[in-house]
Amino acid sequence: MHGKIIFYEDKNFQGRSYESSSDCPDMTSYLSKCHSCRVESGCFMAYDRSNYMGNQFFMRRGEYSDYQRMNGFNDCIRSCRMIPMHRGQYRMKIYERENFGGQFHEMMEDCDNIQDRYRMSDCQSCHVMDGHWLMYEQPHYKGRMMYMRPGEYRSFKDMGMSGQRFMSMKRIMDSCY
């Protein structure tokens, strides 16, 4: 099953619209701005900068009438990525330091606080083996987030997340579809 999202230039689903069922690295190709959207199916990550950069926001089926007010960001949606449905196990190794250094732990379930569970004060790199994950800067799935799909992430700093710590991680389950 594929996701479907409709973007609107203005708040409250007003103005010109653009419909997508796939990744979109630059919304300005279709709309001059994007301040609201409807997710009709699937899950998406929205970004406030082109090419999947900047602040991220996870969206599942529903209506998002005012992107700015809802997220506290000063900008509008500039790019989005569809999150594919995953069936099967979830596995991710988190590392205390960049380049897979320091203490590490393998995770297969959500973790609301790496400090409490693993006695890790920071997570600066990871290897996602299976599934799709959201990492949050604060415990209990709060604060800014980052979408992680299968792959190796040697340095969050190199991904534009300089100074950001990740303290909780959550699996993106197929309840989006």
The pLDDT of residue 152: 96
Q: At 166, which amino acid appears?
A: F
pLDDT digits (tens, 9 = 90+) for 65-86: 987 766 655 568 899 999 998 8
The pLDDT of residue 79: 93
Report the 10 Å Cβ neighbour count for 151: 9
pLDDT digits (tens, 9 = 90+) for 34-48: 889 999 999 999 998
User: Could you give phi then psi for residue 145, rounded to 5 degrees?
Assistant: -130, 165
The pLDDT of residue 74: 59
DSSP-H helix ranges across 79-174: 114-118
User: Could you give phi then psi for residue 87, rounded to 5 degrees?
Assistant: -120, 135
Distance CA(30)–CA(52), nearest Å, equals 16
The pLDDT of residue 40: 94
Q: Tell me the β-bridge partners of 134.
A: 147, 170
pLDDT by residue for the chain (177 residues), tens only, comes to 578 999 999 999 999 999 999 999 999 889 988 889 999 999 999 998 899 988 889 999 999 998 776 665 556 889 999 999 888 999 999 999 999 999 999 999 999 999 999 999 889 999 999 999 999 999 999 988 999 999 999 988 777 666 677 899 999 986 665
Residue with tokens 């959201």: 134
